[in-house]
Amino acid sequence: MTTQPNSIALCDRCGQEHPDCVVCSPTNPAGLQLRPELRADGSVEAVFPCDVKFQGYTGILHGGVTAALLDGIMTHCLFAHDISAVTAQLTIRYRHPIRIGTPVIARARRKHSHGPLHILEAELIQDGQVKATASAKFLEPQSTNETMRTERAI
């Protein structure tokens, strides 16, 4: 069962579920320190500054950081819906290089849910251009047999 998305659930779940998260914890000095916020349409959005310390190739955001941003923003979208789930499958499309030193907007939305299985989509936008997209399946903690039945049903 899910509820209407709300900012309180987003903050509460984040603090309870992973207070030292490398993606969103404000107290993790080595982390990305992403600060997701709920939007009126139920999606979640955050601005990431693309600091040089997250560089891969010269002048370009590291692909692993891109993946972490996409996965993290989708997790926070679930938190806003008062859902705790782990990533079961993540598919990323790197469309264009993400430049260092120019902020990127990370945005995620829930597509649909079926029991403990949740399907989400996310994107990273820089200067009005979609730079990377992702789709993912998230599963709420449960028994293996129930998970397998849910996967087959979708």
CB-count exposure of residue 37 (10 Å: 0-12, 13-18, 19+): middle
Position 143 scores a pLDDT of: 46
pLDDT in tens, 96-123: 999 999 999 999 999 999 999 999 999 9
Q: Please calculate the CA angle 119-120-125 and round it to the nearest 5 degrees.
A: 160
CA distance 142 to 97: 38
Interatomic CA distance for residues 92 and 70, integer angstroms: 8
Question: Where is average pLDDT lowest: 8-17, 58-67, 86-95?
Answer: 8-17
144-147 — which CB contacts under 8 Å span 24+ positions? 146/115, 146/116, 147/116
Query: Is the pLDDT confidence value at 2 over 70?
Result: no
pTM of the complete model? 0.84
CATH number, domain 7-153: 3.10.129.10
Residue 136 in this model has a pLDDT that exceeds 90 = yes
Mean pLDDT of 63-80: 95
Higher pLDDT pick, 134 / 42: 134
Q: Where are the domains of the chain?
A: 7-153
